[in-house]
Amino acid sequence: MSMGRLSPALAVLGCATALALPLTLDAGIYGAPPEVFRVADTATGDQHALIAGEDPPPVWDVAPDRKHILLNCLPHREPQDCGGVVVADTHAHGAQVIARVPHDELEYSWASWSPGGKLIAFERLGRRSVAPELWLVSADGSGLHRFARDAWLGGWSPDSSRIAYVSYRPVPGCGNGGRLVVASVDGRKRWFVSPKRMTACPEQEAWSPDGRYIAYVAYVGETQKVFVTEVANGRIHLIGRGSSPQWARDGRLAYLASAATGPGPYGIRLSNRDGTNQRTLLRGVWRFGPWSPDGRELPVTRISDPNRGVSVLETRDRAGRPGAHLDDGAAWGFWLTGYGFWWRKDGRLLYFRYVGFH
């Protein structure tokens, strides 16, 4: 994941965040909360840590069965144990490196499980390279192969048959613009679904539940906007100024709407996939995560005390009414408490809290 790029699970970070990998800060110096990986009951607010210790490894993704996680380091995090794709159970036990491409002192900047749970896609970036490569590997570590050059991972289709990624060949660098590509998982079919000329690479890609549309964020001039593209024909709909698109089960889109001028806080807006019938769900929000499996609630981060820069993590229903209070974070200077979210089928919420830039 490049600076400023987000996976769907981490879309809670929002439009102003620039993140490479989760960072750990000394809480005694910065007042930052420690990184945690927790499970929470959103009905009662009860929760507990899944990984013991004050310095757990960064959690990239959670398997569809919610029994395993993807890490970029072995749990004790010695320097030589980072730089690969690590699979472990949700307590970080039984960790195994399943993919490590040799040579070139490589870094691994993002990884994502396919919805079917059989494949893992990850970005491979050499420390002297301009652009990453997209690689695939089976969940058991077999079948490792390069899928695309000069590509940022965008996300899996709901049926795991296609991958969206951002390509900026032949001109390297997202400052020169990039295009969103959809490819079959066997690599035989690839086609563009975004315009040729953009002022920055598309990011924060999110597939619709039926796999027919992809929402993404891109800059138009210096303004960040949300678009929806039709996968079959590349037809594009402008949704509005903002970031962090998230699909609901009914096909409607939620996104973090930004003000015309100045920083947040922002507001969550709901929209049809063609940009019509929009309404504001909630104001004063900094970040938000994906809808629950039943489509009734979503996690949000809002500033509870602007003078002290204190944020809270809570759930809200489809009418914007508050639900469970889950966590207290902090926002100050260029740092912000960030969260990655994954819902379990039983309605409990897995979340990883860390400190990142905003």
Q: Domain range for residue 243?
A: 8-357
Per-residue pLDDT at 185: 96
Query: 1 lies in a domain?
Result: no
Residue 274 CA to its chain's centroid (Å): 23
CA distance 181 to 189: 10
CATH number at residue 349: 2.120.10.30
Q: Which amino acid is at 145?
A: H
Per-residue pLDDT at 22: 32
Per-residue pLDDT at 3: 32
More confident residue, 18 or 244: 244
Query: 2 lies in a domain?
Result: no
Mean pLDDT over each residue of the chain, to the nearest integer? 78
pLDDT (tens digit per residue) in 122-135: 988 766 666 788 99
CA distance 344 to 296: 14
More confident residue, 107 or 179: 179
Per-residue pLDDT at 9: 45
Residue 191 CA to its chain's centroid (Å): 23
| Three-state secondary structure call for residue 80 | helix
Per-residue pLDDT at 338: 66
Give the pLDDT mean for 95-119. Answer: 77
- Whether the predicted pLDDT of 170 surpasses 70: no
Query: 317 lies in a domain?
Result: yes
Which pTM was predicted? 0.84
Give the total number of structural domains in the chain.
1
CA distance 246 to 270: 10
275 bridge partner residues: none
Query: 34 lies in a domain?
Result: yes
Query: 44 lies in a domain?
Result: yes
* Among 7, 1, 2, CA closest to 62: 7
Query: 294 lies in a domain?
Result: yes
Per-residue pLDDT at 79: 52
Query: 349 lies in a domain?
Result: yes
pLDDT (tens digit per residue) in 274-308: 999 999 998 888 788 899 988 899 999 887 766 66
Query: 3 lies in a domain?
Result: no
More confident residue, 196 or 199: 196
